[in-house]
C-alpha cells in the first residue's frame, strides 16, 4: 500500500531535515507512528498524501508514484484515494453535520455527488452514532461528535488509505477508546489501510504494528 525509498525532506524556512531510508505499510495494515514532538510524524503523513514533496526519494501509494505526480494529479489522487483525519477536526463551522461530511464532493470534480452518496453518508453517520445529528450545526457538537464527523468525511469517498494525525488527541479517555474502535471498524469495513500518528502509548496494543520515528534521522524544527 505504502512504499517509501531513500526519502529526504527539508523545510526551506526551518532547520528541519527528515531521512527515511525505507518504510513499507502493507494493504490492510493498521500501523501506529510514534516519536518525539517535532520529529516529523505529521510531515510523514503529508508526504504520503502528496501535500508535501520530498527533496529526493520516492513515495508510492497503491503502486502510484505520488511524489512524481503533477499538482493537479496529486490533488485528485488524494481526494479519491486517501482519507485524512485531523486532530483539530478541520470542520467548517458554518456548515451542519451532513454538509461537512459531503464537503469533499462539493470541492472537487473528481467526486460526483449523487443520491447514492447522500444515502451512504447517512448510513455512515448512523454507524458512527451521529445519524440523529445530521442537520445540527457542528458548533453544537461535543469533541467526540466532531471527531466522528471528521472520520465520516474522510471515509465517505471509500479511500484505500486512511491517514490519522492524532485523531484521538483532543478526546477524553473514554471517548478515545470508543473513537478508535469506531475508526478501526470502519477501516476494516472499507478494507482500507490505516496509518495513524499518536502520542497515546496506551492505544498501541490495538494496532498491528508500531513505527518508532526514533529509528529515522530527523532534526526537529
Q: What is the average per-residue pLDDT within 91-96?
A: 96
| Predicted local distance difference test score (pLDDT) of residue 221 | 42
- Statement: residue 29 has pLDDT above 60: yes
Lowest-confidence segment of 42-46, 91-95, 150-154, 179-183 by average pLDDT? 179-183
- Statement: residue 215 has pLDDT above 90: no
Q: What is the pLDDT of residues 162-201, one digit of tens each?
A: 999 988 887 788 778 888 888 898 888 888 999 999 988 8
Q: pLDDT category, 45, cuts 50, 70, 90? A: very high
Q: Are 195 and 161 in contact (CB under 8 A)?
A: yes
- Statement: residue 53 has pLDDT above 50: yes
- Statement: residue 142 has pLDDT above 50: yes
pTM (2 decimals)? 0.91
Give me the chain's average pLDDT, please: 91
Q: What is the average per-residue pLDDT within 50-71?
A: 93
For cell 464532493, the residue is 105
How far apart CA 96 and CA 132 sit, in angstroms, is: 12
> Given this structure, which CATH class describes domain 2-219?
alpha beta
What residue segments make up the domains of the chain, in order of their start?
Answer: 2-219
Q: pLDDT category, 217, cuts 50, 70, 90? A: low
Count CB neighbours of 122 within 10 A: 15
- Statement: residue 156 has pLDDT above 80: yes
Q: Higher pLDDT residue, 199 or 103?
A: 103
Q: Are 57 and 7 in contact (CB under 8 A)?
A: yes
How far apart CA 111 and CA 94 sit, in angstroms, is: 22
Q: What is the share, in percent, of the chain residues with pLDDT greater than 90?
A: 69
Amino acid at each position: 500500500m505504502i512504499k517509501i525509498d531513500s526519502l529526504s525532506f527539508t523545510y526551506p524556512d526551518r532547520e528541519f531535515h527528515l531521512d527515511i531510508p525505507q518504510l513499507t505499510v502493507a494493504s490492510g495494515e493498521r500501523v501506529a507512528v510514534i516519536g518525539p514532538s517535532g520529529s516529523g510524524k505529521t510531515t510523514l503523513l503529508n508526504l504520503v498524501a502528496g501535500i508535501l514533496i520530498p527533496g529526493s526519494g520516492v513515495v508510492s501509494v497503491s503502486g502510484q508514484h505520488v511524489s512524481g505526480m503533477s499538482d493537479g494529479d496529486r490533488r485528485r489522487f488524494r481526494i479519491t484515494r486517501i482519507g485524512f483525519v485531523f486532530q483539530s477536526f478541520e470542520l467548517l463551522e458554518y456548515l451542519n453535520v451532513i454538509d461537512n461530511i459531503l464537503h469533499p464532493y462539493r470541492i472537487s470534480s473528481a467526486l460526483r455527488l449523487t443520491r447514492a452518496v447522500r444515502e451512504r453518508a447517512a448510513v455512515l453517520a448512523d454507524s458512527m452514532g451521529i445519524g440523529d445529528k445530521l442537520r445540527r450545526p457542528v458548533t453544537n457538537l461535543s469533541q467526540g461528535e466532531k471527531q466522528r464527523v471528521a472520520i465520516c468525511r474522510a471515509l465517505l469517498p471509500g479511500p484505500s488509505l486512511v491517514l490519522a494525525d492524532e485523531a484521538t488527541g483532543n478526546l477524553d479517555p473514554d471517548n478515545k477508546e470508543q473513537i478508535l474502535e469506531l475508526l478501526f471498524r470502519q477501516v476494516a469495513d472499507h478494507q482500507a489501510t490505516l496509518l495513524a500518528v499518536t502520542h497515546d502509548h496506551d492505544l498501541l496494543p490495538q494496532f498491528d504494528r508500531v513505527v518508532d520515528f526514533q529509528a529515522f534521522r530527523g532534526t526537529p524544527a
